[in-house]
Amino acid sequence: MLLNIESLKGCAVAASDGEIGLVEELYFDDEAWGIRYLVVKTGNWIDGRHVLISPYSVIRAEPAALSVHVDLTRQQVSDSPPIDTHKPVSRQYEAEYSRYYGYPAYWGGPDVWGVSSYPAYSRAALSAVSPQTCAQLALSGDKLPGDSHLRSTDAVDGYHFAAADGDIGHVSGFIFDDEAWTIRYLTVDTQNGWPSREALLTMEWISLIDWFDSTVSTALTRDAIKNSPAYDSRIPLVRDFETRLYAFYGKAGYWSDERVALRLEGRGGVASAAP
């Protein structure tokens, strides 16, 4: 199902033995657009500190019920590696975090989730990944010289949005797939040159994100975006609308056999002017 990321904010995260806290924001990586962590503000039971919850542990998300259920105990979360959310999350921290929970590291393989297009939703599913693979991928974090590419959805919300022939508005939200835990679309509030409305653009049509200038750019023109199928955030996003959107731009949908085959051959990326 495709959901607006805003729908997760304020949701209570429920462990097997009680509530952990409330979702405040989400961290995604700016290469594969996977949602890597829920940032959760805990209650007084562990001094109200922030903790990271990986989609690997999510059993189900129920935004309508303001809840996210995870396959964890409160003690596991309490004993997890501490994180300072005021500082960038390092790859070394992620490797330590993955080893603590026994998760495979998403950055160690060819797909969005390392060895798969989807995170494992349970210990049973996770056990299908060999212990050797888990260990090798987690340990690879210590050997990578590059930094983590994690960004906050809150930080990008509000960025200027530039078409090929001029600015058109600002980023107003994100739509994610709650099975793949991947950001599929940006929503753009168009304000310049025509009556304000929201437009939907898949991450594949984003050519550059300038983290210095707080700007997201696309090679699409203002007229193309203006004339694209009208998006209404009050209505659930369904495959029929996605099909019309991709057809309008003359593109194959990410769910098509053609695209799946291309993804298996190799992954492209969006340019990033990162600090």
In the prediction, which pLDDT does 271 show? 58
Rounded distance between C-alpha atoms, residue 118 and residue 107, angstroms: 13
Q: Taking residues 99-119, report their average pLDDT.
A: 86
Provide mean pLDDT across the span 3-8: 94
Question: Under CATH, domain 2-151 is a member of which superfamily?
Answer: PRC-barrel domain (2.30.30.240)
Dihedral, CA of residue 39, residue 132, residue 136 and residue 108, to nearest 10:
-60
Domain map (residue ranges) of the chain: 2-151, 157-273
Q: In this structure, which CATH number among 3.40.605.10, 1.10.340.30, 2.40.50.140, 3.90.50.10 belongs to the domain 157-273?
A: 3.90.50.10
Give yes or no for residue 131 having a pLDDT over 60: no
The SS3 call for residue 136 is helix
CA distances for 252 relative to 164, 243, 246, 258, 266, angstroms: 21, 9, 6, 7, 16
Write out pLDDT tens, residues 64-80.
999 999 999 999 999 99
Whole-model pTM? 0.84
